[in-house]
Amino acid sequence: MAGTLAVTLSAVLVAPPANAAPQQVHLPQPEGPHAPGTSLLHLVDEGRIDGLDPEGGPRELMAQVWYPALPLPWYERADYASPKEAARQEEFYVLPDGALEGAVTNSRRDAPALPGNHPVVIFYHGLCASRTDTTAVNERLASLGFVVVALGSTHESDLVEFPGGRTVSTADPTFCAAASDFSTENQAILNRLQEARVADVRFVLDGLEAGTLPLPSGVARSADVDRAGIYGHSFGGSTAAQAMLEDPRLRAGVNLDGLVVGPVRTEGLDKPFLVLGSDYHDDKADPTWADFLPALTGWHQWLRVRDAGHYRFVDQGGSADRWNMREVMPPEVWTANFDDIGDEPSQRILLDYTSAFFLRFLKGEEQPILDGPSARYPEVEFRTAAGEGPPPGR
């Protein structure tokens, strides 16, 4: 959540209308030339005690990787999430029954990777949210030739399911309330959570370099860590920025409508960085942006998406109107969380601008939509632009 800027859905919504027809989350067919594959990864960092675990065990993660796969149709399409995780996400976001549970993706589970040399993108979710929240973006990137690793923060996320059905929920309710204001106490909680997340990112990059992650056939050989980027939604956008400050392997990043905490808030970045924000999120409503945006010295853009709320930058935002979410929340909450941009335009903007950014800065492909307003995207307003940054793909 972006501090006081976004309203927690589960705190204000009632149950969806009883007569609402369940519709599974909409995941557009990826537009790239490659078939996406995906696989779940159970990771344990034996060298790190998990500071979020009340029992003090080693840091344990469930991650998910998307990648360009061989087009082998006998590999089954992967579920959006496990039944337990999907049911908890429906409760967390107050979605219609069946919106996520039973939904299938466009990605083939555990399919062999397409040989090649593919840049790496890391994703981190919002506060107490889920690694699957941007599945549509991850499938698009995989179809364009990227290896994407999405992480779920154990003991912070609402629910993480491990092999064998074991589940871990949020360890401390103060974690999920820490973005409700900009108090010193909440900033301390967010910094604690972010330290664990940034260490997770470093652990995954180390594993990719060393070839020690339990990846599907061919993925390790095809992942090019020398061309690595990161993005995140809400608090995950802050994680992306802080990880870029600390790890030189991360060359480009995207913040999807998130506040910024940690040293990067004032130190800024000299690397390419895109801020894609909702209509109401600006440097006046969010004091962290007032510090962070002027501290960006590399290529950067802040793009405001008119009539878009905070959750238009995750998968749920591409189905909010189809699910009649407006009917189950007060008008001001609808505006903050989704607003009237519509499912198709918001999802198209999210997919097109995020993929264009990584195509430019990790693959060296020119992307004119990043350089100024476009008639194809009238909802996108360019608020700041500065810095040439390194040559594309360098």
Tokens 């401390």 sit at which residue? 172
pLDDT tens for each residue of 97-149: 999 999 999 999 999 999 999 999 999 999 999 999 999 999 999 999 999 99
Question: Helices 184-210 and 235-246: crossing angle, nearest 10°?
Answer: 60
The reported pLDDT for the residue numbered 386 is 56
- Please count the other Cβ atoms lying within 10 Å of the Cβ belonging to residue 145: 21
Tokens 């802050």 sit at which residue? 238
What is d(CA 247, CA 228) in angstroms, rounded to the nearest whole number?
A: 10
CA-wise closest residue to 302 among 265, 272, 276 = 276
Q: Are 374 and 380 in contact (CB under 8 A)?
A: yes
- Domain total in the chain: 1
The reported pLDDT for the residue numbered 334 is 96
pLDDT tens for each residue of 29-71: 999 999 999 999 999 999 999 999 999 999 999 999 999 999 9
The reported pLDDT for the residue numbered 384 is 82
β-strand partners of 147: 120
| Residue 391 falls inside a structural domain | no
pLDDT above 60 for 20: no
pLDDT above 70 for 15: no
pTM of the model: 0.93
The reported pLDDT for the residue numbered 18 is 43
What is d(CA 268, CA 318) in angstroms, rounded to the nearest whole number?
A: 31
pLDDT tens for each residue of 335-389: 999 999 999 999 999 999 999 999 999 999 999 999 999 999 999 999 986 544 4
The reported pLDDT for the residue numbered 393 is 41
Of 17-31, 72-86, 317-331, minimum mean pLDDT range? 17-31
The enclosing domain of 65 has a CATH number of 3.40.50.1820
Work out the pLDDT band at 2, boundaries 50, 70, 90. Answer: very low
What is d(CA 70, CA 65) in angstroms, rounded to the nearest whole number?
A: 15
| Residue 394 falls inside a structural domain | no
Which of 43 and 11 is assigned the larger pLDDT?
Answer: 43
Average pLDDT value for residue range 178-197: 95
pLDDT above 50 for 3: no
Chain mean pLDDT for the chain: 92
What is d(CA 191, CA 69) in angstroms, rounded to the nearest whole number?
A: 37
Work out the pLDDT band at 13, boundaries 50, 70, 90. Answer: very low
The reported pLDDT for the residue numbered 294 is 95
| Residue 392 falls inside a structural domain | no
Q: What is the distance between the terminal CA atoms of the chain, rounded to a whole angstrom?
A: 33
pLDDT tens for each residue of 72-97: 999 999 999 999 999 999 999 989 99
The reported pLDDT for the residue numbered 390 is 46
Q: Are 158 and 88 in contact (CB under 8 A)?
A: yes
Range of the structural domain that residue 234 is part of: 3-386
Q: Kind and range of the H or E element at 333?
A: helix 331-337
Of 17-21, 75-79, 188-192, 248-252, minimum mean pLDDT range? 17-21
β-strand partners of 119: 224
Work out the pLDDT band at 320, boundaries 50, 70, 90. Answer: very high
pLDDT above 90 for 392: no
Work out the pLDDT band at 23, boundaries 50, 70, 90. Answer: confident
The pLDDT > 90 percentage for the chain reads 89
Cα–Cα distances (Å) from 37 to 7, 30, 122, 150, 232, in that order, read 34, 12, 16, 13, 21
| Residue 304 falls inside a structural domain | yes
What is d(CA 311, CA 336) in angstroms, rounded to the nearest whole number?
A: 8
pLDDT above 80 for 391: no
The reported pLDDT for the residue numbered 385 is 61
pLDDT tens for each residue of 141-175: 999 999 999 999 999 999 999 999 999 999 999 99
The reported pLDDT for the residue numbered 339 is 97
Of 70-84, 191-205, 296-310, 375-389, minimum mean pLDDT range? 375-389
